[in-house]
């Protein structure tokens, strides 16, 4: 049965002004298995978001924002592979972050075992040490790992900002449902990568 539903209106901010000292850019799961031809779980639009994220990284690095990467990490027999095809096996090509978005030595890479980058990781610990209050989330999959990380961040009262052109999903429905929930349920702000404006330092 096919049902058609309308996406309720949700606000998209033309610009979001951010204090770089209190903001972290979090790049979720931009790994070969999700992005590159030959990967096991490639989204149709994911590779097209890479240049958008390169722009966000450049802006975050030049403004002095913290940059964090999450890296989905599984071992053989992981129960998540009963839901999804096998993906991101630790040490494999598919597990590696795509070279265009390679983390710098000074940047934090969080290996995560489930959708939520907070679950079972040190992410919250580092964000609090750095006095981060706002997370700009980008990457994939929008309604899975980006969404559950946004949810987990919002439950901890971090402000969530999602540039919609820097996330991707397996279908348009999944993307819209996730962004609408982020706005409606987490009071997150939806914008575009071009709308992210780090406040100039005085």
Residues that bind Zn ion (CB under 5 A): 72, 80
Q: How far is the CB of 66 from Zn ion (least distance, A)?
A: 24
Q: Decide whether 10 or 81 has the Cβ nearer to Zn ion.
A: 81
Q: How far is the CB of 47 from Zn ion (least distance, A)?
A: 19
Find the shortest distance in angstroms from Cβ 36 to Zn ion. Answer: 16
Q: Single out the residue of 31, 111, 99 nearest to residue 68, CA to CA.
A: 111
State both tokens at 146: 């980006």
Q: Which residue lies nearer to Zn ion by CB, 80 or 133?
A: 80
Q: Indicate the residue among 23 and 73 with the shorter CB distance to Zn ion.
A: 73
| CB nearer to Zn ion: pick between 144 and 153 | 144
Q: Are 201 and 78 in contact (CB under 8 A)?
A: no
Contact status, residue 85 vs residue 101, Cβ threshold 8 Å: no
CB of 89 to Zn ion, least distance (A): 10
Q: How far is the CB of 101 from Zn ion (least distance, A)?
A: 18
**What is the Rg, in whole angstroms, of the alpha carbon atoms belonging to the chain?**
16
Q: How many CB atoms lie within 10 A of CB 98?
A: 18
| Comparison of 46 and 63: residue with beta carbon closer to Zn ion | 46
Work out whether strand 108-112 and strand 66-72 pair parallel, antiparallel, or are unpaired. parallel
CA atoms of 196 and 129, how far apart (whole Å): 24
Kindly report whether the peptide bond that precedes residue 102 is cis, defined as omega within 30 degrees of 0: no
In this chain, which residue has its C-beta nearest to Zn ion? 72
């Amino acid at each position: 049965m096919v049902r058609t539903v309308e996406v309720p209106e949700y606000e998209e901010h033309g610009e979001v002004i951010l204090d770089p000292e209190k903001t972290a850019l979090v790049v979720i799961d931009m790994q070969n298995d999700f992005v590159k031809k030959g990967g096991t779980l490639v989204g149709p639009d994911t590779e097209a978001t890479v240049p958008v994220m390169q722009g966000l990284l450049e802006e975050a690095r030049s403004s002095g924002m913290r940059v964090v990467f999450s890296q989905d990490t599984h071992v053989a027999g992981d129960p998540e592979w009963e839901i999804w095809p096998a993906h991101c096996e630790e040490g494999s090509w598919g597990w590696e972050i795509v070279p265009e978005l390679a983390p710098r030595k000074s940047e934090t890479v969080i290996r995560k075992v489930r959708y939520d980058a907070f679950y079972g990781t040190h992410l919250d610990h580092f964000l609090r040490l750095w006095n981060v209050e706002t997370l700009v989330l980008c990457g994939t999959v929008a309604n899975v790992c980006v969404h559950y990380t946004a949810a987990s961040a919002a439950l901890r009262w971090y402000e969530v900002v999602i540039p919609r052109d820097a996330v991707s999903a397996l279908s348009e429905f999944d993307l819209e449902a996730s962004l609408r929930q982020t706005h409606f349920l987490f009071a997150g702000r939806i914008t575009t990568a071009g709308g992210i404006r780090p406040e100039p330092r005085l």
